[in-house]
């Protein structure tokens, strides 16, 4: 689980625009690790997480004029039915709102990357943190119970 930079690129909905943006990233050797493309009539929004945010900023700064950044939570998920639902239930139980989410395509080893834009990233991380076991100082030692007092 980690916080990463997501880039939202606003595109005119016509042939070649998406290819130009993704081609410029490829030419700069920037790997897109997860993406989602949404249609909004004449325009679209490309949301993506890339392996090198600094290079991505440089490429977008030179090739495109309408883009923003946001911090998102990324998680490695098992690529099988119910993995996404489990995370959604944990966020719901912890009262963390998911503003939007998307996943990468399945990768080797049966894993995928889930991308979550959440209302409170710190709280989300706490909700997903594994329960910590408290270790007793005297674990593994035998102690006699204290003597019983009688009056």
Taking the domains of the chain in order of start, what are their residue ranges? Answer: 2-128
2-128: CATH number: 3.30.2130.10
Phi, psi of 37 (to 5 degrees): -125, 120
- At residue 138, the pLDDT reads 42
Pairwise CA distance, residues 70 & 38, whole Å: 17
Query: What pLDDT is recorded for position 22?
Result: 94
Tell me how far apart the 2 most distant CA atoms of the chain are, in Å. Answer: 92
Residue 146: per-residue pLDDT: 54
pLDDT tens digits for range 95-141 = 999 999 998 866 666 777 778 888 788 888 888 887 544 434 444 44
Euclidean distance between CA atoms 94 and 122, whole angstroms = 12
Residue 112's pLDDT is: 75
Query: Where do we find the tokens 């993995």?
Result: 83
CA dist 63 and 59 (Å) reads: 6
pLDDT digits (tens, 9 = 90+) for 46-93: 999 999 999 999 999 998 889 999 999 999 888 888 999 999 999 999
Which of 88, 64, 61, 74 has its CA nearest to residue 34?
A: 74
């Amino acid at each position: 689980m980690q916080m990463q930079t997501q880039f939202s690129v606003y595109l005119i909905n016509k042939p070649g625009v998406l290819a130009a943006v993704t081609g410029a990233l490829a030419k700069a050797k920037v790997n897109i690790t997860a993406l989602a493309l949404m249609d909004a009539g004449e325009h679209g929004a490309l949301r993506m997480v890339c392996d090198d945010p600094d290079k991505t900023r440089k490429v977008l700064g030179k090739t495109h004029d309408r883009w923003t950044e946001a911090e998102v939570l990324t998680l490695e998920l098992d690529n099988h039915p119910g993995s996404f639902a489990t995370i959604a239930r944990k966020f719901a139980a912890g009262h963390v709102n998911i503003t939007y989410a998307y996943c990468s395509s399945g990768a080797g080893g049966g894993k995928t990357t889930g991308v979550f834009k959440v209302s409170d990233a710190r709280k989300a991380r706490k909700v997903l943190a594994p329960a910590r076991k408290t270790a007793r100082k005297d674990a593994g030692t035998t102690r006699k119970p204290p003597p019983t007092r009688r009056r």
